Protein backbone atom coordinates (compact mmCIF):
# COMPACT_ATOMS: atom_id res chain seq x y z
CA UNK A 1 0.00 0.00 0.00
CA UNK A 2 1.33 3.38 -1.03
CA UNK A 3 0.69 4.85 2.41
CA UNK A 4 2.95 2.25 4.02
CA UNK A 5 5.92 3.41 2.03
CA UNK A 6 8.65 5.00 4.13
CA UNK A 7 8.88 8.77 3.66
CA UNK A 8 12.19 9.96 2.28
CA UNK A 9 13.39 13.54 2.02
CA UNK A 10 15.75 14.35 -0.84
CA UNK A 11 18.02 17.33 -0.28
CA UNK A 12 20.19 18.86 -3.00
CA UNK A 13 19.70 19.07 -6.76
CA UNK A 14 17.32 16.64 -8.43
CA UNK A 15 19.30 13.78 -9.96
CA UNK A 16 17.22 11.60 -12.24
CA UNK A 17 18.37 8.12 -11.25
CA UNK A 18 18.07 8.95 -7.57
CA UNK A 19 14.65 10.58 -7.96
CA UNK A 20 13.26 7.78 -10.19
CA UNK A 21 14.68 5.01 -8.00
CA UNK A 22 13.33 6.52 -4.80
CA UNK A 23 9.97 7.46 -6.28
CA UNK A 24 9.41 3.83 -7.21
CA UNK A 25 10.06 2.51 -3.72
CA UNK A 26 9.29 5.29 -1.25
CA UNK A 27 7.12 8.31 -0.64
CA UNK A 28 9.63 10.87 -1.84
CA UNK A 29 9.67 14.54 -0.86
CA UNK A 30 11.98 16.72 -2.88
CA UNK A 31 13.27 19.85 -1.19
CA UNK A 32 14.62 21.39 -4.42
CA UNK A 33 11.22 21.47 -6.13
CA UNK A 34 9.14 22.46 -3.09
CA UNK A 35 7.49 25.88 -3.46
CA UNK A 36 8.17 26.54 0.20
CA UNK A 37 10.90 24.30 1.62
CA UNK A 38 10.24 25.37 5.19
CA UNK A 39 6.52 24.60 4.92
CA UNK A 40 7.30 21.20 3.38
CA UNK A 41 9.69 20.40 6.19
CA UNK A 42 7.22 21.49 8.88
CA UNK A 43 4.58 19.22 7.37
CA UNK A 44 6.65 16.07 6.84
CA UNK A 45 9.21 16.32 9.69
CA UNK A 46 7.33 13.96 12.07
CA UNK A 47 7.20 11.22 9.43
CA UNK A 48 10.50 11.34 7.54
CA UNK A 49 12.60 8.21 8.12
CA UNK A 50 15.36 8.70 5.58
CA UNK A 51 17.30 11.48 3.88
CA UNK A 52 18.82 11.15 0.43
CA UNK A 53 21.48 13.80 -0.08
CA UNK A 54 22.20 14.26 -3.78
CA UNK A 55 25.35 16.43 -3.71
CA UNK A 56 28.15 17.59 -1.42
CA UNK A 57 26.45 21.00 -1.35
CA UNK A 58 23.33 19.49 0.30
CA UNK A 59 23.84 19.81 4.03
CA UNK A 60 22.34 17.47 6.60
CA UNK A 61 23.33 19.54 9.61
CA UNK A 62 22.49 19.10 13.27
CA UNK A 63 19.44 21.36 13.01
CA UNK A 64 17.92 19.25 10.22
CA UNK A 65 18.76 15.96 11.93
CA UNK A 66 17.15 17.16 15.17
CA UNK A 67 13.99 18.18 13.36
CA UNK A 68 13.37 14.64 12.13
CA UNK A 69 12.57 12.46 15.17
CA UNK A 70 11.99 9.29 13.11
CA UNK A 71 15.11 9.66 10.98
CA UNK A 72 17.07 6.38 10.68
CA UNK A 73 19.37 6.73 7.71
CA UNK A 74 21.10 9.31 5.53
CA UNK A 75 22.12 8.06 2.10
CA UNK A 76 24.64 10.51 0.72
CA UNK A 77 25.93 10.99 -2.83
CA UNK A 78 29.72 11.16 -3.05
CA UNK A 79 32.55 9.54 -1.17
CA UNK A 80 33.15 12.73 0.85
CA UNK A 81 30.62 13.40 3.58
CA UNK A 82 31.69 16.68 5.15
CA UNK A 83 28.18 17.94 4.30
CA UNK A 84 26.73 15.61 6.95
CA UNK A 85 27.03 16.32 10.69
CA UNK A 86 28.41 12.92 11.61
CA UNK A 87 28.56 13.73 15.34
CA UNK A 88 24.86 14.53 15.35
CA UNK A 89 24.15 11.37 13.33
CA UNK A 90 26.06 9.23 15.85
CA UNK A 91 24.24 10.87 18.79
CA UNK A 92 20.87 10.16 17.17
CA UNK A 93 21.89 6.61 16.15
CA UNK A 94 21.44 7.40 12.48
CA UNK A 95 23.36 5.34 9.98
CA UNK A 96 25.07 7.32 7.22
CA UNK A 97 26.00 5.69 3.91
CA UNK A 98 28.17 7.25 1.20
CA UNK A 99 29.15 6.11 -2.32
CA UNK A 100 32.75 4.85 -2.15
CA UNK A 101 34.50 2.43 -4.57
CA UNK A 102 32.32 3.14 -7.61
CA UNK A 103 34.14 6.44 -8.22
CA UNK A 104 37.68 5.50 -7.17
CA UNK A 105 39.21 4.95 -10.61
CA UNK A 106 37.39 7.92 -12.17
CA UNK A 107 38.65 10.36 -9.54
CA UNK A 108 42.16 8.91 -9.82
CA UNK A 109 42.02 9.40 -13.62
CA UNK A 110 40.97 13.03 -13.08
CA UNK A 111 43.78 13.56 -10.60
CA UNK A 112 46.35 12.41 -13.15
CA UNK A 113 44.70 14.60 -15.80
CA UNK A 114 44.84 17.62 -13.54
CA UNK A 115 48.44 16.86 -12.60
CA UNK A 116 49.51 16.58 -16.25
CA UNK A 117 47.58 19.71 -17.23
CA UNK A 118 49.24 21.66 -14.44
CA UNK A 119 52.77 20.38 -14.97
CA UNK A 120 52.76 20.56 -18.77
CA UNK A 121 50.36 23.55 -19.24
CA UNK A 122 48.00 21.66 -21.58
CA UNK A 123 44.98 23.96 -21.04
CA UNK A 124 47.17 27.00 -21.76
CA UNK A 125 48.50 25.30 -24.90
CA UNK A 126 44.93 24.63 -26.06
CA UNK A 127 44.08 28.33 -25.53
CA UNK A 128 47.21 29.23 -27.52
CA UNK A 129 46.06 27.19 -30.55
CA UNK A 130 42.52 28.57 -30.42
CA UNK A 131 43.83 32.13 -30.21
CA UNK A 132 45.64 31.58 -33.53
CA UNK A 133 49.04 32.18 -31.95
CA UNK A 134 50.68 29.00 -33.31
CA UNK A 135 51.17 30.60 -36.73
CA UNK A 136 53.49 33.13 -35.10
CA UNK A 137 55.64 30.54 -33.34
CA UNK A 138 55.61 27.45 -31.17
CA UNK A 139 54.11 27.29 -27.72
CA UNK A 140 56.94 27.82 -25.19
CA UNK A 141 58.50 24.72 -23.67
CA UNK A 142 56.94 23.97 -20.30
CA UNK A 143 59.19 24.90 -17.39
CA UNK A 144 57.93 21.95 -15.42
CA UNK A 145 58.01 18.26 -16.22
CA UNK A 146 56.82 15.16 -14.45
CA UNK A 147 60.14 13.51 -15.26
CA UNK A 148 62.14 14.76 -12.28
CA UNK A 149 59.36 15.05 -9.74
CA UNK A 150 58.59 13.28 -6.47
CA UNK A 151 54.95 13.19 -5.47
CA UNK A 152 53.87 13.40 -1.86
CA UNK A 153 50.38 12.09 -1.30
CA UNK A 154 48.49 13.86 1.49
CA UNK A 155 46.04 11.05 2.15
CA UNK A 156 46.36 7.47 0.96
CA UNK A 157 42.88 6.01 1.13
CA UNK A 158 41.29 4.09 -1.73
CA UNK A 159 41.50 6.99 -4.17
CA UNK A 160 44.98 7.98 -2.99
CA UNK A 161 46.18 4.44 -3.66
CA UNK A 162 44.60 4.43 -7.12
CA UNK A 163 46.43 7.69 -7.89
CA UNK A 164 49.69 6.26 -6.53
CA UNK A 165 49.30 3.14 -8.72
CA UNK A 166 49.02 5.35 -11.78
CA UNK A 167 52.11 7.30 -10.72
CA UNK A 168 53.99 3.99 -10.33
CA UNK A 169 53.16 3.23 -13.95
CA UNK A 170 54.36 6.71 -14.95
CA UNK A 171 57.71 6.04 -13.24
CA UNK A 172 57.16 8.84 -10.70
CA UNK A 173 58.34 8.19 -7.13
CA UNK A 174 55.61 8.43 -4.47
CA UNK A 175 55.75 9.03 -0.71
CA UNK A 176 52.83 9.71 1.61
CA UNK A 177 51.50 11.29 4.74
CA UNK A 178 48.33 10.19 6.50
CA UNK A 179 47.12 9.88 10.09
CA UNK A 180 48.81 6.49 10.45
CA UNK A 181 51.09 4.35 8.27
CA UNK A 182 49.40 1.85 5.97
CA UNK A 183 50.38 -1.79 6.26
CA UNK A 184 49.87 -2.81 2.65
CA UNK A 185 52.01 -0.22 0.80
CA UNK A 186 55.72 0.10 0.10
CA UNK A 187 55.80 3.91 -0.17
CA UNK A 188 57.79 5.87 2.41
CA UNK A 189 55.58 7.21 5.20
CA UNK A 190 55.96 10.66 6.77
CA UNK A 191 54.29 11.16 10.16
CA UNK A 192 54.59 14.94 9.67
CA UNK A 193 53.14 16.59 6.57
CA UNK A 194 55.58 19.50 6.65
CA UNK A 195 58.55 17.10 6.59
CA UNK A 196 57.12 15.39 3.53
CA UNK A 197 56.45 18.74 1.85
CA UNK A 198 60.12 19.65 2.32
CA UNK A 199 61.28 16.43 0.60
CA UNK A 200 58.91 16.54 -2.39
CA UNK A 201 58.04 19.09 -5.07
CA UNK A 202 54.53 17.88 -5.88
CA UNK A 203 51.75 17.50 -3.35
CA UNK A 204 48.51 15.71 -4.19
CA UNK A 205 45.80 16.29 -1.61
CA UNK A 206 43.23 13.49 -1.39
CA UNK A 207 42.16 13.47 2.26
CA UNK A 208 38.62 13.58 3.63
CA UNK A 209 37.21 17.07 4.25
CA UNK A 210 35.66 18.24 7.53
CA UNK A 211 37.03 19.72 10.75
CA UNK A 212 39.93 17.24 11.13
CA UNK A 213 41.61 18.40 7.91
CA UNK A 214 40.62 22.08 7.80
CA UNK A 215 43.54 24.18 6.50
CA UNK A 216 45.88 21.18 6.69
CA UNK A 217 47.76 22.68 3.73
CA UNK A 218 48.80 25.98 5.30
CA UNK A 219 51.45 28.63 4.64
CA UNK A 220 54.13 26.55 6.38
CA UNK A 221 53.46 23.48 4.23
CA UNK A 222 53.43 25.59 1.06
CA UNK A 223 56.72 27.25 2.01
CA UNK A 224 58.21 23.79 2.63
CA UNK A 225 57.02 22.63 -0.80
CA UNK A 226 59.17 25.37 -2.27
CA UNK A 227 59.55 27.36 -5.51
CA UNK A 228 59.24 24.34 -7.82
CA UNK A 229 56.26 23.15 -5.83
CA UNK A 230 53.01 22.12 -7.46
CA UNK A 231 49.88 21.58 -5.39
CA UNK A 232 47.05 19.40 -6.69
CA UNK A 233 43.85 19.49 -4.64
CA UNK A 234 41.35 16.71 -5.33
CA UNK A 235 39.94 16.62 -1.79
CA UNK A 236 37.88 19.53 -0.50
CA UNK A 237 38.54 23.27 -0.70
CA UNK A 238 38.54 23.42 3.09
CA UNK A 239 41.67 21.23 3.30
CA UNK A 240 43.77 24.05 1.82
CA UNK A 241 44.09 27.50 3.40
CA UNK A 242 42.93 29.28 0.25
CA UNK A 243 44.24 32.71 1.30
CA UNK A 244 47.67 31.22 2.06
CA UNK A 245 47.63 29.42 -1.30
CA UNK A 246 46.79 32.62 -3.20
CA UNK A 247 49.65 34.41 -1.45
CA UNK A 248 52.06 31.55 -2.12
CA UNK A 249 51.12 31.58 -5.81
CA UNK A 250 51.34 35.38 -6.06
CA UNK A 251 54.71 35.47 -4.31
CA UNK A 252 55.94 32.43 -6.28
CA UNK A 253 56.59 30.66 -3.00
CA UNK A 254 55.28 27.67 -4.98
CA UNK A 255 55.32 27.25 -8.75
CA UNK A 256 51.77 26.29 -9.61
CA UNK A 257 48.56 24.60 -8.57
CA UNK A 258 45.85 22.43 -10.06
CA UNK A 259 42.59 22.75 -8.17
CA UNK A 260 39.41 20.70 -8.56
CA UNK A 261 37.82 22.04 -5.37
CA UNK A 262 37.40 25.42 -3.67
CA UNK A 263 36.34 26.74 -0.28
CA UNK A 264 33.13 28.42 -1.51
CA UNK A 265 32.51 26.60 -4.75
CA UNK A 266 31.11 27.36 -7.24
CA UNK A 267 32.59 30.73 -6.25
CA UNK A 268 36.28 30.83 -7.16
CA UNK A 269 38.40 33.68 -5.77
CA UNK A 270 39.12 36.39 -8.37
CA UNK A 271 42.84 36.14 -7.62
CA UNK A 272 42.88 32.50 -8.77
CA UNK A 273 40.79 33.26 -11.86
CA UNK A 274 43.30 35.93 -12.84
CA UNK A 275 46.31 33.59 -12.75
CA UNK A 276 47.08 32.04 -16.11
CA UNK A 277 49.74 29.65 -14.84
CA UNK A 278 47.43 27.53 -12.68
CA UNK A 279 44.71 25.08 -13.70
CA UNK A 280 41.15 25.22 -12.36
CA UNK A 281 38.59 22.43 -12.71
CA UNK A 282 34.90 22.77 -11.68
CA UNK A 283 34.89 19.90 -9.12
CA UNK A 284 34.64 17.20 -11.73
CA UNK A 285 36.60 14.38 -10.13
CA UNK A 286 33.86 11.80 -10.55
CA UNK A 287 31.80 13.51 -13.20
CA UNK A 288 31.45 11.13 -16.12
CA UNK A 289 27.96 9.91 -16.96
CA UNK A 290 29.20 6.35 -16.37
CA UNK A 291 30.49 6.94 -12.85
CA UNK A 292 27.79 9.36 -11.77
CA UNK A 293 25.15 6.79 -12.73
CA UNK A 294 26.86 4.26 -10.48
CA UNK A 295 27.00 6.78 -7.63
CA UNK A 296 23.33 7.72 -8.04
CA UNK A 297 22.32 4.06 -8.12
CA UNK A 298 24.28 3.40 -4.93
CA UNK A 299 22.39 6.21 -3.15
CA UNK A 300 19.19 4.37 -4.09
CA UNK A 301 20.52 0.87 -3.35
CA UNK A 302 21.64 1.87 0.15
CA UNK A 303 18.07 2.94 0.90
CA UNK A 304 16.57 -0.16 -0.72
CA UNK A 305 18.77 -2.37 1.49
CA UNK A 306 17.66 -0.42 4.55
CA UNK A 307 14.03 -0.71 3.49
CA UNK A 308 14.50 -4.50 3.29
CA UNK A 309 15.67 -4.50 6.91
CA UNK A 310 19.30 -5.04 5.96
CA UNK A 311 22.33 -2.83 6.59
CA UNK A 312 22.99 -0.32 3.82
CA UNK A 313 25.62 -1.55 1.35
CA UNK A 314 28.21 1.10 2.18
CA UNK A 315 27.71 2.47 5.70
CA UNK A 316 30.36 4.73 7.21
CA UNK A 317 32.51 3.08 9.87
CA UNK A 318 31.61 5.98 12.21
CA UNK A 319 27.89 5.15 12.04
CA UNK A 320 27.52 1.38 12.17
CA UNK A 321 24.16 -0.13 11.39
CA UNK A 322 22.30 -0.61 14.65
CA UNK A 323 19.39 -2.54 13.20
CA UNK A 324 15.93 -1.84 12.06
CA UNK A 325 14.02 0.52 14.34
CA UNK A 326 10.65 -0.39 12.76
C1 LIG B 1 31.40 14.95 -5.92
C2 LIG B 1 33.14 14.19 -4.61
O3 LIG B 1 30.39 14.22 -5.32
O4 LIG B 1 32.52 12.00 -4.12
C5 LIG B 1 32.89 13.07 -3.69
O6 LIG B 1 33.08 13.28 -2.49
O7 LIG B 1 33.69 15.16 -4.27
C8 LIG B 1 32.65 14.12 -5.97
O9 LIG B 1 32.43 12.86 -6.47
C10 LIG B 1 30.97 15.43 -7.21
O11 LIG B 1 32.05 15.94 -7.88
C12 LIG B 1 29.85 16.44 -7.11
O13 LIG B 1 30.26 17.67 -6.74
Q: For the chain, which ranges sit under pLDDT 50? A: 1-2, 326
Claim to verify: residue 255 and residue 275 sit in the same structural domain: yes
Compute how many other C-beta atoms are within 10 angstroms of the C-beta atom of residue 120.
Answer: 16
State the distance from the centre of ligand 1 to the C-alpha of 36, rounded, in angstroms.
27
- Residue to probe by mutation, ligand 1, list 80, 104, 158, most atoms within 8 Å of CB: 80
Based on the structure, what is the number of domains in the chain? 2
Give the phi and the psi of residue 168 in degrees, each rounded to 5: -55, -50
Claim to verify: residue 195 and residue 226 sit in the same structural domain: yes
Q: What is the pLDDT of residues 279-319, one digit of tens each?
A: 999 999 999 999 999 999 999 999 999 999 999 999 999 99
Per the CB < 8 A criterion, the answer to whether 231 and 225 are in contact is yes
265 is annotated as an active-site residue: yes
Domain around 84: 2-102+290-307
283 is annotated as an active-site residue: yes
State the distance from the centre of ligand 1 to the C-alpha of 79, rounded, in angstroms.
7
Candidates 214, 265, 271, 277; catalytic one: 265
Claim to verify: residue 86 and residue 115 sit in the same structural domain: no
Tell me, what's the pLDDT at 3?
A: 59
DSSP code per residue over 7-64 = EEEEESS--HHHHHHHHHHSEEEEGGG-SSHHHHHHHHTTTEEEEEE-STTS-B-HHH
pTM of the model as a whole: 0.95
Query: What's the burial of 73, exposed, middle or buried (CB within 10 Å: 0-12/13-18/19+)?
Result: buried
CATH for 241? 3.40.50.720
Does residue 320 lie in a domain region? no
Claim to verify: residue 261 and residue 302 sit in the same structural domain: no
Task: Name the closest-CA residue to atom 1, ligand 1.
Answer: 78
Report the C-alpha gap between 170 and 153 in whole angstroms: 15
318 is annotated as an active-site residue: no
Per the CB < 8 A criterion, the answer to whether 72 and 196 are in contact is no
Claim to verify: residue 87 and residue 165 sit in the same structural domain: no
209 close to ligand 1 (CB < 6 Angstrom): no
136 DSSP assignment: G
Claim to verify: residue 191 and residue 201 sit in the same structural domain: yes
Claim to verify: residue 182 and residue 241 sit in the same structural domain: yes
175's CB contacts (< 8 A; 6+ apart) are 150, 151, 152, 153, 187, 188, 189, 190, 196, 199, 200
Does residue 83 lie in a domain region? yes
Report the C-alpha gap between 300 and 96 in whole angstroms: 13
287 close to ligand 1 (CB < 6 Angstrom): yes
Claim to verify: residue 189 and residue 236 sit in the same structural domain: yes
Candidates 236, 242, 292, 296; catalytic one: 236
State the distance from the centre of ligand 1 to the C-alpha of 292, rounded, in angstroms.
9
Tell me, what's the pLDDT at 322?
A: 76
Cα end-to-end span (Å), the chain: 17
79 close to ligand 1 (CB < 6 Angstrom): yes
Claim to verify: residue 82 and residue 186 sit in the same structural domain: no
Report the C-alpha gap between 325 and 119 in whole angstroms: 52
Claim to verify: residue 236 and residue 253 sit in the same structural domain: yes
The pairing of strands 151-154 and 95-97 is unpaired
Claim to verify: residue 90 and residue 110 sit in the same structural domain: no
231 close to ligand 1 (CB < 6 Angstrom): no
Tell me, what's the pLDDT at 309?
A: 93
Amino acid sequence: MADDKAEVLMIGPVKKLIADGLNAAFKLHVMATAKDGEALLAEIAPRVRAIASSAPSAKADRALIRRLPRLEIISSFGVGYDNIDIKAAVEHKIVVANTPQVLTEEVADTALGLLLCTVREFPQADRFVRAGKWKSGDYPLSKATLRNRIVGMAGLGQIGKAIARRLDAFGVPVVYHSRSPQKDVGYRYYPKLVDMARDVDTLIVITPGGPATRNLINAEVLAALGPNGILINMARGSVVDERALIKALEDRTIYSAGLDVFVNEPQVPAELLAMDHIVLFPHLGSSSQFTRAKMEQLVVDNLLAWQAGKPPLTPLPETPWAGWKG
